[in-house]
Structures are given as structure tokens and as C-alpha cells.
Amino acid sequence: MSRSLTDEAIDRIRGFVQSGRFPAGSKLPPEQELATELGISRSPMREAVKALTLARVLEIRRGDGTYVTSLAPSLLLEGLGSAVALMGGGSVLELTEVRRLLEPAATGLAATRITDEQLAGVAELLDAMHDAVDDVERLTVLDAAFHRTVTAATGNETLTTLLDGISSRTLRARVWRGTVDRGVTGTTLAQHRAIYTALANRDPGVATAAALMHVDTSERWLKAHLADVEELTGE
């Protein structure tokens, strides 16, 4: 199947960005000038710019022109969470497998890099989780913040964004609701406490093991409730 002019324009512009001709934050030439260089009309040129804008590669500033964004991982990958929310069935379990591979390793790395300030932030979130033990929605928000703070301590923005997207708010809410319903909230909170203690001791091995135990608990719950997968992945 032949590729459209729009697809070709997208690849050419993306190539210009990757080569450094249009670096992050730079302004693109006027639309007509760029279309002429690419040998296409303004219509496919416009569509290419729209597509790259949706992908957060370009930013249209009304009255000023089109610019390359910062190209930060958090920006380019921000749509991951929305995609995760649409997945169901086996795809959900695949995501938990990816999380099981990444999150323990990230937690172990965080144990070697976390600052005292970041550690204090994790402790505050943990205390808040204990105070919100009967509030599923609040626990969901705090849980996401807890793990994001831990992952952010690695200093790896790409890893932080990936894990943030994979561990969507919807799935967290379902897991916490199941935890509360089964009356085992204390066990789950104890797993968070174990993660914090390992971080405080700067022990990457124990931190990795504690995070693996925690992710495994969530994965087991999801597997036990695959019959309700539509509920698991719906808002």
C-alpha cells in the first residue's frame, strides 16, 4: 500500500527534529516554505503538523507559528495512561507483567539515589495512606503519589513516565477497592511500609524484593478478577 503525502511529510519533519535541524524549542519555517521544500501542497502539510501536534512533537502558537516542543519524555509519553485505560482482558495482564519487570528494579535503583527530602515525602504519603484506610478514592490518589515519588527518586524521567502510565488510576482504584472489600488493607499498607523501610536503609536488594512482593499481590488480585475485566478497565 502506498503511503500518503501526509505520512511522508510526518516522517520528513520528524527526521528534521531527530537530526537536530529543528531542535527542541525551535520555530519551524512558515507553512508554505516548508511545504515547498517537501514538495507537497499545503493541505497534507497542515495534516502532518496536526498529527505531530497531537503527538506532542510540535506546538502551534496562535499568531506566532509552529514550534518543536521540549520533547521531554513526560510530554511525549503522556498519552500512555489514556491508552492503558482502554485496554482489557489479556492486555491488562500484560501491563501488570511489564510493571512487575520495571517497578521492582526502579525501586531498587531509587534506594541508591533517593534524597532525604524525597524520603521524607514518601514517609508523609505513607502516613496519609494509613489515615485514609477506609477511603478508597483517597487511597488511590495517595498510592499513585507514593509510587511516583519512589520512581522519581531514580532521576529517570522516562522510567517514571512509563510506570505512571502503566499503573493507571483506574486499575489502582479497582485494586484498592478489592483490598478494602476483602479486609486486607493492613497487609497492603505493610507492603508499602516495607518499601519505605528499605529505601530509608538505602538497601537496593531489599527494596527490589519488597516492591516485587507488592506488585505480585496486585497481579494476583487482577488474575482472580479477570471475569470482571471490563469493570477493571472502565472509569
Cell digits of residue 166: 502503566
Distance in Å from the first CA to the final CA of the chain: 38
CA distances (Å), origin 28, targets 7, 33, 69, 158:
18, 10, 11, 26
Q: Which amino acid is at 32?
A: Q
pTM attached to this predicted model: 0.74
Place of cell 529543528: 22
Confidence tier at 234 by pLDDT (50, 70, 90): very low
Report, at the CATH architecture level, how domain 5-71 is classified.
Orthogonal Bundle (1.10)
Report, at the CATH architecture level, how domain 76-233 is classified.
Up-down Bundle (1.20)
Q: Do 188 and 83 touch, CB atoms closer than 8 A?
A: no
What digits encode the pLDDT tens for the residues 142-200? 988 999 999 999 999 999 988 888 876 555 656 666 666 666 788 889 999 999 999 99
What digits encode the pLDDT tens for the residues 11-58? 999 999 999 999 999 999 998 999 999 999 989 999 999 999 988 899
Residues near 13 by Cβ (< 8 Å), separated by ≥ 6? 22, 28, 34, 48, 49, 52, 57, 58
Task: Write phi, then psi, for 105 (nearest 5 degrees).
Answer: -65, -40
Would you list the domain boundaries of the chain? 5-71, 76-233
DSSP string, 209-229: HHHHHHHHHHHHHHHHTGGGH
